[in-house]
Amino acid sequence: MRILTVLTYYRPHTSGLTIYAERLAKALVRRGHQVTILTSQYEKHLPLEEVQEAVRIRRSPVLLRVSKGVISPALGFLATQLVRESDVIQLHLPQFDAPGVALRGRLTGRPTVLTYHCDLSLPPTLFNRLVNRVVDVANHTAAQLADRIVTYTQDYADNSPYLSRYRSKLQIIPPPVELPKASPEAVEAFARQNRTEECRPVIGMAARFAAEKGVEVLLDALPAILERYPRAQVLFAGQYQNVLSEEAYFNRLAPQIRRYEADGHWRFLGVLSPQEMAAFYPNLDVLVVPSLNSTEAFGLVQIEAMMNGVPCVASALPGVRQPVLTTGMGRVTPIGDSRALAQAILEIVDRPQDFQADPQEIAHRFDPDTIAAEYERMFLELLRAKKKQPAG
């Protein structure tokens, strides 16, 4: 099959959505399909066209940015060309351009699938309310034109105001998760570099530094943890400087973080490669996902941690709570409750043996090839259904 995948940001941009798209694209290529990514040239140094590991990437120049979205007039022209060259279309939502691409799919008879990652929840300003409204209209228009909508969990689908309106089109497919295997030497080198043996317990957080991630919840939980474990340390993996639209959020929390940095209780690691992430997880005692709103729909890093035997504490958001609830590897805490987060971390650190499951079983369920096979079956089913439809 010739598969066209459309999303606003693609690699090297780092987010759960872009990582999902990259893993799925490569897995589909391994299964013998041709995959083209249509995305924005969000940084001017990125090439307009390239091939990465047999995945073709076409980037459309950006005219201007609107909040976290982009306006790219050339994308419509590229979409018209690439839709005609494709057998099926996959759109990652939310994105401004979804309705136009979905309409092209409808007009040309190409099956169109939406992969819905999360509800958009921007900070409550007048401008952001307008952006939320525009994206909401775009998402609903795309859903009406699409043949199928994929989401990660039934839990999230049942609680999403958007997804609950399109139950007849929904298909539940878990996200693809993979990590390279870290050698014992790499794990030990990471420990030496970050002095994890001197700082127990080690609490991990892997995310962009963004308001919806709930960094302040972890910060407010630290005093109770340090009271019991004075050498506890947080390792924060992910982009934390110059995060798009999050500068004010970082500046608000920076004074508190700097105090913990000065005492050795907080360390920023920056964006880590997959190999570095593989060495990061085995050095943790617990991973936390204290997210605050439905912009977070799952938390892929939970599965990565669990594949390495590391329990997690997740907030009780629909979807986000599912990795812990289905595996038993951790605790779910009320949203925004720093006291409950501290208690859950301490419980796991005190009794880690109570929060274990089979890492191999977890890895197989979320393996990108397993997930790509589910997408492939869905695409083929839609193609067969299109062929049976009468002309006109």
Written as tens digits, the pLDDT of the chain (392 aa) is: 999 999 999 999 888 899 999 999 999 999 999 999 999 999 999 999 999 999 999 999 998 877 667 888 899 999 999 999 999 999 999 888 999 999 999 999 999 999 999 877 666 677 667 777 888 898 999 999 999 999 999 999 999 989 999 999 999 999 999 999 999 999 999 999 988 877 789 999 999 999 999 999 999 999 999 999 999 999 999 999 888 778 899 999 999 999 999 999 999 999 999 999 999 999 999 999 999 988 888 999 999 999 999 999 999 999 999 999 999 999 999 999 999 999 999 999 999 999 999 999 999 999 999 999 999 999 999 999 988 876 54
Task: Supply the pLDDT for residue 218.
Answer: 98
Task: Supply the pLDDT for residue 124.
Answer: 65
Inter-residue contact 123 to 81 (CB < 8 Å): no
Whole-model pTM: value is 0.85
Name the residue among 267, 276, 332, 269 with its Cα closest to residue 299: 332
Task: Supply the pLDDT for residue 370.
Answer: 96
Query: Which pair of structure tokens corresponds to residue 339?
Result: 């006291």
Inter-residue contact 55 to 25 (CB < 8 Å): yes
SS3 category, 350: helix
SS3 category, 223: helix
For residue 339, report the phi and psi dihedrals to the nearest 5 degrees: -65, -45
Task: Supply the pLDDT for residue 122.
Answer: 62
Cis previous bond, 12, omega within 30: yes
In degrees, to the nearest 5, what angle opens at C-alpha 121 toward C-alphas 45 and 217?
A: 95
Q: How many alpha carbons lie under 13 Å from residue 344 in its C-beta half-sphere? A: 29
Angstrom distance (rounded) from CA 14 to CA 235: 18
Task: Supply the pLDDT for residue 107.
Answer: 96
Within the chain, residue ranges assigned H as helices are 16-30, 74-84, 98-108, 126-145, 154-159, 184-194, 215-228, 247-262, 274-280, 300-307, 322-327, 338-350, 359-365, 368-388
Cα dihedral value 104, 109, 111, 116, nearest 10: 30
SS3 category, 383: helix
**Domains of the chain with bracketed CATH:** 2-176+367-388 (3.40.50.2000), 184-364 (3.40.50.2000)
Pairing of strands 148-151, 55-61: unpaired
For residue 138, report the phi and psi dihedrals to the nearest 5 degrees: -60, -45
299: phi > 0 → left, psi -120 to 50 → alpha, else beta; which?
left
Task: Supply the pLDDT for residue 142.
Answer: 96
Angstrom distance (rounded) from CA 257 to CA 233: 12
**What is the distance, to the nearest Å, from the Cα of residue 164 to the centroid of all Cα atoms in its chain?**
21
Task: Supply the pLDDT for residue 65.
Answer: 77
114: phi > 0 → left, psi -120 to 50 → alpha, else beta; which?
beta
SS3 category, 236: strand
Angstrom distance (rounded) from CA 234 to CA 249: 19
- 119 Cβ contact partners less than 8 Å away, ≥ 6 residues apart: 94, 160, 161, 162, 293, 294, 295, 297
Inter-residue contact 313 to 288 (CB < 8 Å): yes
